[in-house]
Amino acid sequence: MKRIILMVFVACTSLICAVELPWVTASKSERDRFYEAVGTIQPHMTTTLSSKVMGNVLEVLKREGESVKAGEILVKIDAKDIASDLAGARAGLSEASSMMNELDQGLAAAKAQKDQAETSLKMTLSSFERIKGLYEKKSVSKQEFEQADTQLKSAQAQLRSAEAQVAGVVARKSTVSARMGQAQAGISKVQTIKNLAEVVAPFSGRVTSRRIEPGMLAAPGVPLMVIEDEAQQRFEAVVPEGLIGSITQGMPIQVSVDAFPDSVLEGKVAEIFPTGDVLSHTFVVKVAVPQDGRLRTGMYARGMISVGKEMLMLVPKTAIEYRGQLEGLWVECDGKPQYNLVRIGRSIDDKVEILSGLSEGEKFLAVKPEKGSDSK
């Protein structure tokens, strides 16, 4: 029985040796060297909204995960006191406006009275000059001259009275105008406060945290809601200081997210922190990635950063033969295939990196044989 098995083994070995085997010469090739930076997906902008007025919350219009548009109302706060103040300020403005209308009418009447007094004074003055000339010629009596003089002084007094009345109305108008300005400023202030009772989204994005509910008390500085910009997301990675010189603004970086292993995002370096961590000697690099609705803040991701060139020994994956937890490939030994153990590294496309066990110039089989012999 042993003799039969030995004959079969010898026959198989002879058959393998007789067949021309596809030997491949091992050689190193130059490839880009990459550093795998790890980090998380983060929004370009995030903000915590809070109220600038105190009051009970009437409505909270958005929940976590919902999208918002810039200027959209998110929270409404009770503004009854503010509405009352606004009504009072508007009533004051209305009263001042009515007074201003009355003063405008009074000013018009005063100006008309002044014009009439000026006309009357001109006529009286002309009459006085005529009578004065006649009096100097002794053509009229002293009584007539004195009567003309009295009429002139009366006309002058009437003009001064009309001018004083116009000046008084103008002064009152200035006072009322100041009151109107104060009332308008009060309305603007109250209106601003009333507008602050409605908390709006500063930019379009997505709600990530809702920290208040209807009926709760809102106060200045108390967080109400957190929103983030979902249209511009970044991959934030931590890079050793030894590699930071190889990274430039706008540099392309491929980003892969662990949650979606079959997808690769083509990103570009958007920002490099100017200062690093003094303890870990690392820098934060932000990479802008294309918008993808699947991405969520905090997702674990990896970025492949090109940091130069390297020489690698690569063989086809089909050349590797696994025996339990060991890896090996068939190399040429005296023209015959011999199974040698190797230590493998990274997988690159359809090839695998050989770290040890295979030297440059050695020949190996690109496809492991269906039946082989180990000369060991």
The pLDDT, as a whole number, for residue 371 is: 58
| pLDDT attached to residue 123 | 87
The strands making up 223-228's β-sheet, listed across from edge to edge, are: 46-50, 223-228, 205-210, 67-68
Residue 218 to residue 51: CA distance in whole angstroms:
6
**Dihedral of the CA atoms 278, 280, 282, 286 (nearest 10)?**
-100
- The residue whose two tokens read 């009072």 is 88
How does pLDDT run across 212-257, given as a tens digit for each residue?
A: 899 898 888 889 999 998 778 899 999 999 888 888 899 999 999 9
344, 352 in Cβ contact below 8 A?
yes
Angle between helix 80-136 and 142-196 (nearest 10): 170
The SS3 of residue 330 is: strand
Residue 118 — pLDDT band, cuts 50, 70, 90? confident
Of 195, 286, 171, residue with least CA distance to 233: 286
CB 208 within 8 A of CB 189: no
User: Is the pLDDT confidence value at 12 over 50?
Assistant: no
3 state SS of 123: helix
Asked if residue 60 has pLDDT above 80, the reply is yes
pLDDT of residue 136: 80
What pLDDT does 272 receive?
A: 92
176, 103 contact by CB (below 8 A) = yes
The pair of structure tokens assigned to 375 is 């000369």
Max intra-chain CA distance, the chain: 180
Separation in Å, CA 86 to CA 54, 83, 157:
16, 5, 48
Q: Quick one: pLDDT at residue 161?
A: 85
Q: Decide if pLDDT at 160 tops 90.
A: no
* Sequence-ordered list of residues with C-beta below 8 angstroms from that of 368, at least 6 positions apart, any chain: 318, 319, 320, 321, 329, 330
Rg (CA), the chain: 48
- Quote the mean pLDDT of the chain: 83
Q: What is the DSSP letter of 344?
A: E
Mean pLDDT confidence for 172-200: 78
Q: Measured between alpha carbons, how far is 224 from 66 in angstroms, rounded to an integer?
A: 15
Neighbours of 84 (CB within 10 A): 11
Q: Which domains does the chain show, CATH number per domain?
A: 36-44+229-308 (2.40.30.170), 46-77+197-228 (2.40.50.100), 80-195 (1.10.287.620)
Q: How many Cα atoms within 13 Å fall on the side-chain side of residue 129?
A: 6
pLDDT digits (tens, 9 = 90+) for 275-293: 988 999 999 999 999 988 8
> How many Å apart are CA 107 and CA 101, to the nearest integer?
10
Cβ-contact 45, 70 below 8 angstroms: no
Does the pLDDT value for residue 19 go beyond 60? no
At 52, the pLDDT band (50, 70, 90 cuts) reads confident
In whole angstroms, what is the distance from residue 56 CA to residue 197 CA?
10
Give the per-residue pLDDT at 287: 93
Predicted pLDDT at 94: 81
- In the predicted model, what is the mean pLDDT of residues 10-14? 44
**pTM score:** 0.55
Q: Give the CA count within 13 Å in the CB-facing half-sphere of 317.
A: 7
